[in-house]
Structure 1
Amino acid sequence: MGEPAENTPVIIGVGQVSERTNDAGYRARSPMDLAGDALAAAIADSGVDAGGQARLARSIDTIGAIRQFEISRPDASAPFGRADNPPRAIARRIGADPARAILETTGGQTGQNLLGELAGEIAAGRSEVAAIAGAEAISTVRALRAAGEARDWSEHVGGSIEDRGYGLESLFDAELLHHGATSALAHYALFENARRAERGLSPQAYRQAIGDLLAPFTRVAAANPHAAAPRARTAHELAAVTDRNRIVAEPYARMTVARDQVNQGAAVIVASAGKARALGIAESRWVHVHAVAAASEPAPMERADLARSPASIAAVEAALGRCGRSFDEVRHIDLYSCFAIPVFNLTDRFDLAPGDPRGLTLTGGLPFFGGPGNNYSTHAIAEAVARARAMPGSYALVGANGGFMSKYSAALYSTEPADWSGHDRTIDLPRQPAAVPKAAGEQDRLTVETYTIVDSPPGTEAGPRAIVLGRNAAGERIAANADLDDSETRALFEGGAPFGAPLRLSRAEDGRTIGKLGPA
């Protein structure tokens, strides 16, 4: 397409930092320190000398901070304190004073969507250099608290900030929360078991399928210096239930779910081609953003199919379509892997094998590389940029998942130039429609669609809890808890195949719906 226009957005620098508590030289850095170091690494990655790096830092006019887990929900807490203005706290560590500072919403898709948004701002001439950075220090917090130590990570930075809030709307069902699905783990286990039911697999056979999917991820993590768990494992190791690999929510074994005990930071810098030239950044460092597509689902209980996410499929198809590419033409792939089902959702649709020679992760995936809160996909983008530079002309696809398979962002990156003159490379797809009504009032029966068994909420001694989603005779969806005090009901659920079973319903004193095996 010739030389890129002056206002074409190009990625000019990416950076990653990490530390493990048993590393030599471990510094117990705060999230803001890790994010600042990652942004400094991204500036250095631009390839300019020290003077050029200082000019680049001063040129950043917009900075977006990815929200830490500690500030991702109204009820979350930061035990060592927090910065009052995270984007400016990060910026001041590299000597930047941007005009605009953004604190993004919650979700694993937010970093990539923000990159697309800021690229659009550059294409429209409203920005010249923008940066995105984020970090988590969850492992350090846990280690220090376990040792009885504390730190003061509070910072008063002040200055303007565009705080976009938590962004949790349409994410939760009050009924599921009331019945014990208070975590991502419980929600994803419900979806995973719906897919297992669809395939007619036993829990152990399905765990083996998860092991087959994720074993190649461990080999990528083993070669990644930033990975939290850099050890190659076999599919059998991942699938076998042992004391160290216990069931954390049926069907998940511990090793196969996202690892949030990490200390990791990542950053990306995007600039206009004209400003990149003025800063002396060689075109060999440039990577183009070819498309960023965003899509979302209704709340979990309103979805037509609990075993898949049409929104994430639509986002990937839209990004590929805008680039005129098929999945076969993508050389580098990173599919968000907090749990297996967001990966399965796309491997099922695009007929990708676990052993695809391209691989399905660039980092090692969230269970093995690590799941640094909402910021994982910034690491994936950094890896995609590195792969694209190493193989000029190739395309990298990053799929970023948020919530409970609630929101998805798909993007393609390449050294091949992208024409932004049409301002159509960021695609915001309409929300998938609510397809299943929720039952209102007291119900007497349901037919089981899916379930999971989890530990009871903290502070209770009620034992394991079986969370159930099912339908009544009118096709309306109901959340319930299976009565595990009833021996027949317990045997049915612990046997792993309650799908399609009729449950008689009653109401507990706390308002929960309780299901017991009974006649249809």
Structure 2
Amino acid sequence: MQVDPHTPVVVGVGQFTERIGTTDYRGMSSVDLATEAVRAALADTGADVTAVARSIEVFAGLRQFEICTPFDDPFLGASDNYVRSVAQRVGANPVRAILEPIGGNGPQKLMTEFAAAIAAGDHEVVLILGSENGSTLKTFADRDHKPDHGETVGGQLEDRGFGFEQYMSEYTATHGLTGAPVQYGLLDNARRARLGLDVGDYRRRMAELFAPFSKVAAKNPFSSSPVERSVDEIETVTDENRMICDPYPRLLVARDTVNQGAAALVMSVAAARRLGVPEEKWVFLRGHADQTEQDLLDRADLSVSHAAKQAVSEALRGAGIGIDDVATFDLYSCFPFPVFAVCDEFGLADDDPRGLTLTGGLPYFGGPGNSYSLHGIAETVAEMRERPGTFGLVGANGGVMSKYSAGVYSTAPADWEPDRGKALQGNIAALPKVPVTRTADGLGTIETYSVRYDWPVTTGVIIGRLAADGSRFMALTEDDDLVALMTGGDPLGAAITVTSTEDGVNRATLA
């Protein structure tokens, strides 16, 4: 291939899944899961595994849920340096070890960051790794005898911080936005309002979107739940498919009780040649971009994602293709909204014959925290090798549609193409913002909503507009009449009375 020797290429990918209920289930640690994936990625290069491992200069790791806040210590213990624990197990001694903040955009963000660093000559060989041991944590939560996953390895670590403060504030947390389902419920109901659909029709559309995902997951050997689900099964609320947060039954929500790991190895063309990686293993990152959305309550239209639109558009531009030229997609799918957001902007049908996932999606393949899209990258790289010259798009989403990273992959060679992400970010910064009233009193209407069923009392979560000035506010409600409307009717646009309280929570009742 006639390309600049600094051009980055993905040369090895690996995945690992441990399913609860199988005879060989061990309840592995995050380090163990990532180690298995890294070993698979090293073997996938087709080169000398020992030589490749020793050549890795950077190990960039994705933060697990068990270490994603400073408030609680992992109850099974954890490594003091997750990244170097994995490196030691595979015979590597990187110059840099990095731990990324939380955010599902992280895998593609890291891929773009270090591919650019390789192209600039700053590094030659970089490994990106991630894992999640949610299944293990749940398995041993109520047991007296627990494994000890603590270990001390020390060494350099560039800890980039937790990052959760980017996705919530004291105001939003006080009003129930402490978990992803309720946050995305607000977005999906805002989209339902824009489309003018009733509750039943929209749930049907969500189920129609995700049923094909489950079909892919059923055939994926790395899937945590390899079961094909029908549209009726996904949309029908039962004891097994209980409501999590409106508008989502369980089968529309990311499956976080998983034990999964993934890894991707990217290096310069020169290093790939020196280490003997066959050219048929090389996959190029042909287009890429990272974009950050406005804060949730600032957004004029809660039913769209400017960040996703701009990131995908720029990745396609860099690759020199359009959306119709994409052969495969893996769109982040923690809930329906992130998939709908891309489909809406690019005219993709829910049942596009190319499919919208290669893994099977987060509710069925599994939602291993911040590292899910590393599995999407791994599947895309494998698919590109099987279909040389075609293009695969990975869309990775973080926060409350807060950050979006996109990448286009292909075996078709080309020199590294920088993206215009920083310049494009100005378009989002220039968008109008909605004024927010934090202490709200008076008449208002419901702009969008969700319902939390996981609290002791079923509670409505509301984003509304004050009648007096049109400003936006948040409120909670346990009012019987309003909760009944929110759980059994359609409260969009309903008139409410909101009252501020001394504890900082705005309370709503039907007007």
Alignment TM class, shorter chain as reference? over 0.9
Taking the TM superposition and a 5 Å limit, the aligned residue runs for 1:23-62 are 23-48=22-47, 52-62=48-58
SS of the equivalent of 1:362 reads: coil
Q: How far off is 1:144 after superposition?
A: 2.2
Find the counterpart in structure 2 of residue 450 from structure 1.
448
Q: Contact 1:180 / 1:456 at 8 angstroms: preserved in 2? A: no
Give the aligned residue type for 2:188: E
Taking the TM superposition and a 5 Å limit, the aligned residue runs for 1:64-143 are 64-143=60-139
Give the aligned residue type for 1:42: A
Q: Structure 1: which 5+ residue stretches go unaligned?
A: none
Give the aligned residue type for 2:500: R
Q: After superposition, give the CA deviation of every residue in 1:159-216 in whole Å (9 maximum; x if it has no partner).
A: 1111100123432132221122211111100111111122222222211111100000
Q: How far off is 1:117 after superposition?
A: 0.7
Q: Residues 130 and 139 of structure 1: is their aligned pair in 2 closer, same or farther, counting only changes over 3 Å? A: same
Q: Residues 333 and 76 of structure 1: is their aligned pair in 2 closer, same or farther, counting only changes over 3 Å? A: farther
Which stretch shifts more, 71-80 or 295-304? 71-80
Taking the TM superposition and a 5 Å limit, the aligned residue runs for 1:242-261 are 242-261=238-257
SS of the equivalent of 1:219 reads: helix
Q: After superposition, give the CA deviation of every residue in 1:220-255 in whole Å (9 maximum; x if it has no partner).
A: 000001111101111111011111111111110111
C-alpha distance in 1, partners of 2:419/2:510?
52
Q: Work out which of the residue numbers 338, 344, 351 in structure 1 matches 2:340.
A: 344
C-alpha distance in 2, partners of 1:440/1:245?
35
Q: Contact 1:170 / 1:298 at 8 angstroms: preserved in 2? A: no
SS of the equivalent of 1:430 reads: helix
Q: After superposition, give the CA deviation of every residue in 1:278-310 in whole Å (9 maximum; x if it has no partner).
A: 111110000001122111112211111111211
SS of the equivalent of 1:216 reads: helix
Give the aligned residue type for 1:478: F
Q: Contact 1:16 / 1:38 at 8 angstroms: preserved in 2? A: yes
C-alpha distance in 1, partners of 2:256/2:454?
21
Is 2:173 the counterpart of 1:177? yes
Q: Work out which of the residue numbers 406, 431, 437 in structure 2 matches 1:439.
A: 437
Find the counterpart in structure 1 of residue 495 from structure 2.
502
Which stretch shifts more, 467-476 or 363-372? 467-476
SS of the equivalent of 2:141 reads: helix
Q: How far off is 1:75 after superposition?
A: 2.5
TM-score of the pair, normalised by structure 2? 0.96
C-alpha distance in 1, partners of 2:487/2:328?
40
C-alpha distance in 1, partners of 2:57/2:268?
12
C-alpha distance in 1, partners of 2:43/2:161?
31
C-alpha distance in 2, partners of 1:440/1:425?
38
Find the counterpart in structure 2 of residue 469 from structure 1.
463
Is 2:223 the counterpart of 1:224? no
SS of the equivalent of 2:166 reads: coil
Give the aligned residue type for 2:411: T
Find the counterpart in structure 2 of residue 9 from structure 1.
8
Give the aligned residue type for 2:446: V
Q: After superposition, give the CA deviation of every residue in 1:301-339 in whole Å (9 maximum; x if it has no partner).
A: 111111121111111011111122111100010000000
Taking the TM superposition and a 5 Å limit, the aligned residue runs for 1:277-288 are 277-288=273-284
Q: How far off is 1:346 after superposition?
A: 1.0
Find the counterpart in structure 2 of residue 484 from structure 1.
479
SS of the equivalent of 2:421 reads: strand
C-alpha distance in 2, partners of 1:92/1:131?
13
Give the aligned residue type for 1:27: R
Q: Contact 1:11 / 1:287 at 8 angstroms: preserved in 2? A: yes
Is 2:414 the counterpart of 1:427? no
C-alpha distance in 2, partners of 1:246/1:178?
25
Q: How far off is 1:446 after superposition?
A: 1.7
Q: Contact 1:117 / 1:426 at 8 angstroms: preserved in 2? A: no
Q: Work out which of the residue numbers 315, 318, 325 in structure 2 matches 1:319.
A: 315
SS of the equivalent of 1:318 reads: helix
Which stretch shifts more, 194-203 or 34-43? 194-203
Q: After superposition, give the CA deviation of every residue in 1:250-279 in whole Å (9 maximum; x if it has no partner).
A: 110111100000000000000110110011
TM-score of the pair, normalised by structure 1? 0.94
C-alpha distance in 2, partners of 1:224/1:456?
31
Q: Contact 1:173 / 1:300 at 8 angstroms: preserved in 2? A: no
C-alpha distance in 1, partners of 2:371/2:496?
41
C-alpha distance in 2, partners of 1:163/1:498?
44
Find the counterpart in structure 2 of residue 331 from structure 1.
327
C-alpha distance in 2, partners of 1:26/1:495?
41
Q: Structure 2: which 5+ residue stretches go unaligned?
A: none
Q: Contact 2:58 / 2:97 at 8 angstroms: preserved in 1? A: yes
SS of the equivalent of 1:387 reads: helix
Superposition CA RMSD, Å: 1.5
Give the aligned residue type for 1:448: I
Q: How far off is 1:456 after superposition?
A: 5.5
Q: After superposition, give the CA deviation of every residue in 1:459-484 in whole Å (9 maximum; x if it has no partner).
A: xx4x1110100112322110011342
Q: How far off is 1:74 after superposition?
A: 2.5
C-alpha distance in 2, partners of 1:426/1:499?
38
Q: Contact 1:88 / 1:157 at 8 angstroms: preserved in 2? A: yes
Give the aligned residue type for 1:501: A
Find the counterpart in structure 1 of residue 508 from structure 2.
515
Q: How far off is 1:426 after superposition?
A: 7.2
Is 2:146 the counterpart of 1:150? yes
Q: How far off is 1:509 after superposition?
A: 4.8
C-alpha distance in 2, partners of 1:172/1:193?
19
Q: How far off is 1:490 after superposition?
A: 3.4
